[in-house]
Amino acid sequence: MISAKMLFRLLALLALCIPLAACGSDDDGAAATGAEPFDLVLDFYVNPDHAGIYQALEAGYFEEAGLDVEARVPADPAAPIKQVAAGQVDLAISYEPEVMLAREQGLDVVAVGALVHGPLTSLISLPEAGIAEPADLAGKTVVTAGIPYQDAYLETILGDAGVDPADVEVVDVGFNLLPPVLSGRADAMLGGFLNVEGVQLAERGDDPSVIPVDELGIPTYDELVLVANAERVSEDPEQIEAFLEALERGTDDAAADPEATTAALVEAGDGLDPELTRAELEATLPRLATEAGEQFGYMDPAEWQAFGEYLTVEGQLDEAPGTDDLFTNDLLPLAK
């Protein structure tokens, strides 16, 4: 049986072999159009969280903005934020908690836009597990991805439900969250995404319970954010601003034409199932949307502050970070 780590690396290699037309043109193409090379490292393999990116690539919006964007799948999911801190890439996709941890570790990074608003991380179970509410986790087995701050989420959820953590068996299975739940070896997972594992189970007809963590006592946060080198943002922000404007156009198109966006994702993701991808995209689009009168990609200072304080109380950070050090909304397109 292929391990989760091996499966991820195979998917990464496949994605890296995508024709350049799907991920941005080569240097000769850039010269022909006058576009400047722009390196974007994804957080994971191609999926509907990246809908606006691949629709913008398909429509040529990045080239119109003067950018020859190459979107790359990372060989290691922990690498993108380090690469952008080192100035090796222009932008990286990461997670709000990872930005806070990176800043505390001394990495000079800053979030420049929210890609996915609100948590995707969820508590997911099947009906036969009998988990109608968190209190039902007592005596159950929960699989996690072994991410420390997600383990803190679970402790918070159990504590709020009055469940002794000692009464719950927690098993770290990495990214291999689905098989234990499907086989009945685990009763629930904490760390699966509502728009990925949640949709996959629903499409199988398994009628899953899918509860995002911000409905279970965890302060809300932006699941995915675009991260840049802080010095680059301060001294040379123009390309990033152009990228964000083109991304907004691509995201608008994704909402207007999910069929075309599904096709773009399937082409870029080589091996993605069209029907499943379309279902995942439908679950993702509400999280990509911008509220009326708000800037595309807007990050709420009060929400970031509350989430940082939560991670500090839970021992994931030494001290709550100031929001000015974590993100900026200054490069975002003007609100419509």
Taking the C-alpha atoms of residue 327 and residue 115, their distance in angstroms, rounded to an integer, is 13
What is residue 38's predicted lDDT score, i.e. its pLDDT?
Answer: 98
What is the pLDDT, as a whole number, of residue 75?
87
Angle between helices 96-104 and 301-313 (to 10 degrees): 60
Q: Write out pLDDT tens, residues 260-288.
A: 999 999 999 988 999 999 999 999 999 99
For the segment 251-266, what is each residue's pLDDT rounded down to a tens digit? 999 999 999 999 999 9
Query: Looking at the domain that runs over 4-118+222-326, which CATH code has it been given?
Result: 3.40.190.10
- In the predicted structure, residue 301 carries a pLDDT above the cut 90: yes
The single residue listed with the structure tokens 């505390």 is: 104
Name the nearest CA neighbour of 309 among 299, 319, 297.
319
Proportion of the chain above pLDDT 70, given as a percent: 90
Identify whether the C-beta of residue 187 lies closer than 8 Å to the C-beta of residue 94: no
Residue 61 pLDDT more than 90? yes
Q: Which of 49-58, 74-83, 100-109, 184-193 has the lowest mean pLDDT?
A: 74-83
Q: What pLDDT was estimated at residue 31?
A: 44
Position 9 scores a pLDDT of 37
Distance from the first to the final alpha carbon of the chain: 50
Does position 312 have pLDDT exceeding 60, yes or no?
A: yes
CA gyration radius for the chain? 20
pLDDT for residue 33? 60
CA distance 242 to 208: 40
**pLDDT at position 303, please?**
97
Q: For residues 119-142, give the mean pLDDT.
A: 98
* Domains 4-118+222-326 and 121-215 are alike in CATH topology: yes
- Average pLDDT over the chain, rounded to an integer: 91
7 pLDDT tier (thresholds 50, 70, 90): very low
Pairing of strands 36-41, 91-94: parallel
In this prediction, residue 26 carries a pLDDT of 45
Distance CA 85, CA 82 (A): 5
Q: How far apart are the C-alpha atoms of 64 and 59, rounded to whole Å?
A: 9
For position 292, what pLDDT does the model report? 85
Contact 231, 108 (CB under 8 A): yes
pLDDT computed for residue 77 by the predictor: 81
Mean pLDDT, to the nearest integer, of 301-306?
97
Domain borders along the chain are 4-118+222-326, 121-215
Q: Is the pLDDT of residue 10 over 50?
A: no
Which residues does residue 69 pair with via DSSP β-bridges, in sequence order?
A: 38
Structural contact between residues 9 and 39, judged by C-beta atoms closer than 8 angstroms: no
HEC-encoded secondary structure of the chain = CCCHHHHHHHHHHHHHCCCHHHHCCCHHHHHHHCCEEEEEECCCCCCHHHHHHHHHHHHCHHHHCCEEEEEECCCCCCHHHHHHHCCCCCEEEECHHHHHHHHHCCCCEEEEEEEECCCCEEEEECHHHCCCCHHHHCCCEEEECCCHHHHHHHHHHHHHCCCCHHHCEEEECCCCCHHHHHHCCCCEEEEEECCCHHHHHHHCCCCCEEEEHHHCCCCCCCCEEEEEEHHHHHHCCHHHHHHHHHHHHHHHHHHHCHHHHHHHHHHHHCCCCHHHHHHHHHHHHHHHCCCCCCCCCCCCHHHHHHHHHHHHHCCCCCCCCCHHHHECCCCCCCCC
pLDDT at residue 255, rounded to an integer? 97
At 90, list the tokens. 């222009």
| Amino acid 270: pLDDT | 83
The highest-level CATH class for domain 121-215 is alpha beta
Instruction: Give the pLDDT mean for 108-121.
Output: 98
As a whole number, mean pLDDT of residues 80-85 equals: 96
Measure CA 309 to chain center.
21
